[in-house]
Chains A and B, each alone.
Chain A
Amino acid sequence: DAGVIQSPRHEVTEMGQEVTLRCKPISGHNSLFWYRQTMMRGLELLIYFNNNVPIDDSGMPEDRFSAKMPNASFSTLKIQPSEPRDSAVYFCASSFTQGLQETQYFGPGTRLLVL
């Protein structure tokens, strides 16, 4: 299995620009998670989907952030407009959820730098 695939791996952009991060979960998994990791705040869950439906988006910082999962094999996290404080590593993770808390498999992350 290829694991969770994220693109791009690195992104450098200027303040005010739109940024789109992409994630392909492991085939057969039905839950997908977006995390943000920074030195100051550690690892935070932004949003997670189950069967393509957003379940908990309480971690999404503000209206500048949006996430979609149009089908079981693809998700995007968009930041518009981007700000320097959005600089972080963004991880996508997926799992096969069937009742009990299941193992989340993480992608390699997208390192975002907003200048």
Chain B
Amino acid sequence: AQSVTQPDIHITVSEGASLELRCNYSYGATPYLFWYVQSPGQGLQLLLKYFSGDTLVQGIKGFEAEFKRSQSSFNLRKPSVHWSDAAEYFCAVTAGYNTDKLIFGTGTRLQVFP
């Protein structure tokens, strides 16, 4: 069955530092992969998605993610973190073909220190 693992429950970085959030997936074929962000008290917002093609995907708010099939990973990166990036980040994979169902990871909470 499809699954998503986010190994880091909580990450703390200083403002201006680089960021990488890890995501590993389990899927039998080429997956559709997503990163969503959830600010406190808010719903989820899509940062970026990968369907096919270029394995480096650019998203909103300066985020990017790289799909690595050999490592079953889709890590999210940002070169310089801003205090407003403090939020919870969710990686998700499609549950299969012919379905709109997404499987979400457990999330990584990002804390940013000034």
Contact = CB atoms under 8 A, between A and B. Distances in A.
A106 B100 contact: no
Interface of A: 4, 31, 33, 42-45, 48, 50, 55-56, 91, 93, 95, 97, 100-109
Given A42-B106, A43-B90, A109-B43, A103 B49 contact: yes
Contacts, number: 53
Contact of B51 (A101, A108, A109): A101
A46 B18 CA distance: 36
Contacts of A4: 43
A50 B100 contact: yes
Contacts of A44: 104
Interface of B: 32, 36, 41-46, 49, 51, 90, 94, 99-102, 104-107
A115 to B, nearest CB: 21
A100 B51 contact: yes
A42 B36 CA distance: 14
Contacts of B46: 103-105
A101 B32 contact: yes
Contact of B43 (A31, A45, A93): A93
Contact of B45 (A31, A102, A106): A106
A101 B44 CA distance: 16
A44 B90 CA distance: 12
A42 B43 contact: no
Given A43-B90, A100-B51, A95 B100 contact: yes
A106 B43 contact: yes
